[in-house]
Structure 1
Amino acid sequence: MPQTITLRLTPGEAAREAAIRQYAAHTLQVKPGRINAVQVLRRSIDARGSQIMMQLQVNVFIEEPFVDAFSFTPQLQDVSRAEPVIVAGAGPAGLFAALRLVELGYCPVVLERGKDVRNRRRDLAAMNKQGIVNPESNYCFGEGGAGTYSDGKLYTRATKRGNVLRSLQWFRHFGAEEKIMYEAHPHIGTNKLPGIIVAMREAVVACGGQVMFDTKLTDLLIEGDSLKGVEVNGSEQIRAKALILATGHSARDIFTLLDRKHIEIESKPFALGVRIEHPQALINQIQYRCDPAVFGDMVGPASYSLVSQELGRGVFSFCMCPGGIIAPASTSEGELVVNGWSPSKRDNPYANSGMVVAVDEKDFAAYGFKGNLAAMHFQQMVEQKAWQAGGGALKAPAQRMTDFVKGKVSASLPSCSYLPGVTSTLLQEVLPQEVFQSLSKGFVTFGKKMKGYYTEEAIVTATESRTSSPVRIPRDKDSLQHTRIKGLFPCGEGAGYAGGIISAAMDGELVAEAASAYCRR
């Protein structure tokens, strides 16, 4: 068995296997020649002291053969004649559910309202260059779901919800770099993730599964209290005993359909706010006190994570994108949503992050929204205000950070990565007052925690509102079926059971196992 040890090295030392072997030999008090191999299990950056250091956990093989700790061989099989299970949504939850169904001997029939990765790019270009929103093909809908074009972060705190390692192994199997297996905050990059998503889809199809694009779920076929199939595109029926509903956090038509059919759903709290962008060089200076380029590829651009309590509400950073871009994430005309992403090298000159405030039923009720869709309608209201304040065509209402806090229109705006363009306006007229006030105080607090963070060089854009689903679809904790409808399996972020790529992937696999168990009865 290999020996597992922890090493603390400079970035230069951590980049060289020979140095790692030398320090491992010294730590274990053996001659370097006795070490056959070392494998990094975990790597993280420590920038707290006067010098940036790398902390490595490694397996050391002393006079024994190397065994890959991340080895993975999926058990894919021919399911072309197997019993079908419908999977609505080709995001992380849906794709991982489909792969697991193939392993379990069931034929996934994946329905995706949007387009495949290649054709989806044209609609994203139209959003960025012309301000045109295709409600069926955008940053949220299409092959790979919102995850395909939202940075490719693979970090999750939801380690008790499933097998994180297995989810990472799937990504590595389909083309991700090995470093995602051991980085403390693994990241693929929006430029590389689409190819991996395509490889997943092709594997499902090669095994006999189906992936149907431009195919929108429009109704559920229910007899008594059991699901019998679905209707797609308003007319065609597909029969199956089980449906994995993994339609994502922005599928408002699905939430409305369930509510109209009196299928139990629940309004849920979420987080609402803005996306803030700084020059990446400024964040590097604050966090590292130097340019990370001097360390080569080992130390990338600096990131941050901020949280505070302001006026009785949590204020926190969300989906921080070093070296990234702010992108339009709207799914309908007349509504403005912003999100962020980074390429694999994270080499853009800006650092952006969501900065959001928790909102709940009291806030929804204050604006007259009640019932199962209260949070969704509240979310929609703010997005419509942002659209109007920006002037249409996906232009984002914006202010300098300091002007946001002072409550005055910015006479000019700093350069910004948001391609559709920005409009100087008062964001306090867009955001609910409670959210605006909490953010204002939060920015000042964060400026004290990170000296230089509170600056007129930063630009604030609205609105960051799709942080999580505004609806939870209740399911039994044991069977994972809907609490009343047999054969209906709510899944992933849209159902309220995940928050990011990895947690959605894990939930997809768990729900696939539950659906297959149900079909075996």
Structure 2
Amino acid sequence: MIKEIQLRVSLPEEEQDPNLTKRAAAFLVEDASKINGVVVLRKSIDARKKVVVFNYKLAVYINEELPKESEYHFDYQDVSSAKEIHIIGFGPAGMYAALRCIELGYKPIVLERGKDVQKRRRDIKAINQDHVVNADSNYCFGEGGAGTYSDGKLYTRSLKRGDVRRIFENLVFHGATHEILVDAHPHIGTNKLPKIIQRIRETILNYGGEIHFETKVTDFEIKDQKIRAIILDNGHEMAVERVILATGHSARDIFHLLDKKKIEIEAKSFAMGVRVEHPQHIIDSIQYNCGMERPDLLPAASYSLVQQVKGRGVYSFCMCPGGFIVPAATEDGEVVVNGMSPSRRNNKFANSGIVVEINAEEDLRSFAQYGALAGLEFQKSLERISYTAGGRSQTAPAQRLTDFVEGKLSSSLNECSYQPGLLSAPLHSLLPKHLGSRLRKGFQAFGDKMHGYNTNEANIVGVESRTSSPVKIPRNDTLEHPQISNLFPCGEGGGYAGGIVSAAMDGERCAEAAVSGI
């Protein structure tokens, strides 16, 4: 017999005795000797009250054998001689589209403008240490996409878009820990994700797929409302049957290419703002009521905040406890910041994007001449302002949080995890009024919700501009572009995902759609 139960275990109880089998036996009034084991189905932390509580959902095996293997199986087969599907981009959407193609008996041909994870490290080091941005190999572009070297959080609300569990099980199949299957907020960590991505690459290659790194798509040959060939930056043409476009939210050249060729694209809502960084002990103290020392059993605390300000949402985005702020620019002449966390989340800082919803009609009037690319041009304008305010390098403009809220320049800045360094700048006046004023009021409200959040010990760093794509590539019920019948817009770049998991699920869906009818 297998029984599912819910247990609430206080932090003191967990510290005293973490044995879940004993707790399950007591809860069920059952002889512990009859319980062959328990499987944790879900684990979360409730820190809303003074005493922190661990919530467990358990499957209790009473006189029943424990399962020996996962119910999920990935049936990869040799596709080296199979029909081809071309995939542009090798982030989560592209990777999972390729894996799904192999399962369905089709050969994926992946074209990735960036480098593999090993070579990509050198270019990321150059951004951090030398302020040199490689436009095709950086925190956004390269094997694994933006998630590889930026964080590895696996949060998603896209439960209706596919089987989330299947994506998680596939990550475990390729080397992720089983903890991601049970944690309420699963996270792999930027130090572990590259190895998993390398194993996914090996799976694709071992079963006959192709992956071409440092291969940039610059044009499409279109005839009879179909892409007949892909043109690469070296002039080579590749004949194609079906194309999955999974280039990510920062592939601006692709958006420009589609616009130039009169292939329909649309403006899409997005958000922009800044990244705020606190000493981790401050966030721990607020969330856990633990003073300066966090108990060993508790992870670095996170938070999620939202406030309506003048009709717009101001909210935390991509919160990274125990993490780092990183430079996410994709071209020289711009400064963009993002956040990441290692698997142990043991850095002494906590950072989060704090962003404001952008209303195209009201906020982008001065960019109206760019049509569907108005949001993209607005992004670029703020990134260039940040570049200039930071001293025309990857040094980022920053302020103490309290100074930003009060509207005054900071005479000095706090220590920060951002490796290229900070330069004091009046972000409160550099940001457009519709953005800066809402951020300031949002921070004030957050201080009321989390007492101690608005502190002189926190920095804000600009600019957090790549939360999602400002452009949507439309598609119909068959997931094809309404004009180009063999083009399948996919993932974050198409406007259909918002993170690793939702992008991976969309990649699988697009693969299934692309092979249909071939």
Q: CA deviation at 1:10?
A: 3.0
Q: CA deviation at 1:295?
A: 4.0
Q: CA deviation at 1:429?
A: 3.5
Q: CA deviation at 1:294?
A: 5.5
* Deviations 1:134-162, CA, capped at 9 Å, x for gaps: 00100000000001012100010111111
Alignment of 1:247-266 (within 5 A): 247-266=247-266
Q: CA deviation at 1:70?
A: 4.4
Tell me the distance in 1 between the aligned counterparts of 2:278 and 2:61: 44
Residue in 1 that maps onto 2:3: 3
Q: CA deviation at 1:44?
A: 0.1
Q: CA deviation at 1:366?
A: 3.7
Residue in 2 that maps onto 1:133: 133
Residue in 2 that maps onto 1:213: 213
Tell me the distance in 2 between the aligned counterparts of 1:178 and 1:488: 36
Provide structure 1 residue ranges, at least 5 long, that are not aligned to the other structure. none
Q: CA deviation at 1:430?
A: 2.7
Tell me the distance in 2 between the aligned counterparts of 1:232 and 1:387: 30
* Deviations 1:229-268, CA, capped at 9 Å, x for gaps: 3111241111221010000000000000000000000011
Tell me the distance in 2 between the aligned counterparts of 1:331 and 1:424: 23
Using structure 2 for the length normalisation, give the TM-score.
0.97
* Deviations 1:381-435, CA, capped at 9 Å, x for gaps: 1111111111122110110011111111100001111110111011133311110
Alignment of 1:415-494 (within 5 A): 415-476=415-476, 478-494=477-493
Residue in 2 that maps onto 1:321: 320
Letter of the aligned partner of 2:135 in structure 1? P
Tell me the distance in 2 between the aligned counterparts of 1:144 and 1:274: 25
Tell me the distance in 2 between the aligned counterparts of 1:16 and 1:166: 35
Tell me the distance in 2 between the aligned counterparts of 1:114 and 1:514: 26
Where 1:334 maps in the other structure, the secondary structure is: coil
Q: CA deviation at 1:291?
A: 6.1
Tell me the distance in 1 between the aligned counterparts of 2:70 and 2:451: 40
Letter of the aligned partner of 2:226 in structure 1? S
Letter of the aligned partner of 2:479 in structure 1? L
Where 1:469 maps in the other structure, the secondary structure is: coil
Residue in 2 that maps onto 1:374: 374
Alignment of 1:229-240 (within 5 A): 229-240=229-240
CA contact (8 A) 1:250 1:469 kept: yes
Tell me the distance in 1 between the aligned counterparts of 2:2 and 2:85: 42
Greater Cα shift, 343-352 or 285-294: 285-294
Tell me the distance in 2 between the aligned counterparts of 1:194 and 1:236: 30
CA contact (8 A) 2:284 2:294 kept: no
Provide structure 2 residue ranges, at least 5 long, that are not aligned to the other structure. none
Tell me the distance in 1 between the aligned counterparts of 2:152 and 2:68: 24
* Deviations 1:440-490, CA, capped at 9 Å, x for gaps: 0000100000000001111001000000001000001x2101111111000
Tell me the distance in 1 between the aligned counterparts of 2:12 and 2:504: 34
Tell me the distance in 2 between the aligned counterparts of 1:126 and 1:18: 45
Greater Cα shift, 16-25 or 236-245: 16-25
Residue in 2 that maps onto 1:228: 228
Residue in 1 that maps onto 2:348: 349
% identity of equivalent residues: 52
Letter of the aligned partner of 1:288 in structure 2? Y
* Deviations 1:58-105, CA, capped at 9 Å, x for gaps: 111111111268442210000000011001001000001100000000
Where 2:388 maps in the other structure, the secondary structure is: helix
How many residue pairs get matched?
517
CA contact (8 A) 1:399 1:460 kept: yes
CA contact (8 A) 1:218 1:234 kept: no
Where 1:371 maps in the other structure, the secondary structure is: helix
Tell me the distance in 1 between the aligned counterparts of 2:300 and 2:88: 37
Q: CA deviation at 1:302?
A: 0.3
CA contact (8 A) 2:244 2:511 kept: yes
Where 2:152 maps in the other structure, the secondary structure is: coil
* Deviations 1:196-247, CA, capped at 9 Å, x for gaps: 0000001000001001100001112221112223111241111221010000
Letter of the aligned partner of 2:471 in structure 1? V
Residue in 2 that maps onto 1:505: 504
Letter of the aligned partner of 1:337 in structure 2? V
Greater Cα shift, 2-11 or 346-355: 2-11
Residue in 2 that maps onto 1:23: 23
Tell me the distance in 2 between the aligned counterparts of 1:31 and 1:415: 55
Residue in 2 that maps onto 1:199: 199
Change (3 A) 1:17 1:168: farther
Tell me the distance in 2 between the aligned counterparts of 1:310 and 1:81: 57
Tell me the distance in 2 between the aligned counterparts of 1:259 and 1:86: 21
Alignment of 1:80-91 (within 5 A): 80-91=80-91
CA contact (8 A) 1:85 1:243 kept: yes
Q: CA deviation at 1:278?
A: 0.3
Greater Cα shift, 466-475 or 360-369: 360-369
Tell me the distance in 2 between the aligned counterparts of 1:16 and 1:71: 34
Q: CA deviation at 1:273?
A: 0.2
Where 1:102 maps in the other structure, the secondary structure is: helix
Residue in 2 that maps onto 1:79: 79
1:302 aligns with 2:301: yes
Change (3 A) 1:227 1:133: same
* Deviations 1:484-509, CA, capped at 9 Å, x for gaps: 11110000001000000000000001
Alignment of 1:363-402 (within 5 A): 363-402=363-402
Tell me the distance in 1 between the aligned counterparts of 2:48 and 2:224: 60
Tell me the distance in 2 between the aligned counterparts of 1:503 and 1:281: 32
CA contact (8 A) 2:281 2:293 kept: no
Two-structure CA RMSD over aligned residues (Å): 1.5
CA contact (8 A) 1:11 1:53 kept: yes
Residue in 2 that maps onto 1:39: 39
Change (3 A) 1:103 1:35: same
Q: CA deviation at 1:30?
A: 1.4
CA contact (8 A) 2:281 2:294 kept: no
CA contact (8 A) 2:281 2:292 kept: no
CA contact (8 A) 2:367 2:377 kept: no
Tell me the distance in 1 between the aligned counterparts of 2:411 and 2:246: 44
Residue in 2 that maps onto 1:153: 153
CA contact (8 A) 1:386 1:396 kept: yes
* Deviations 1:143-189, CA, capped at 9 Å, x for gaps: 00001012100010111111100000011111111000000000000
Residue in 2 that maps onto 1:117: 117
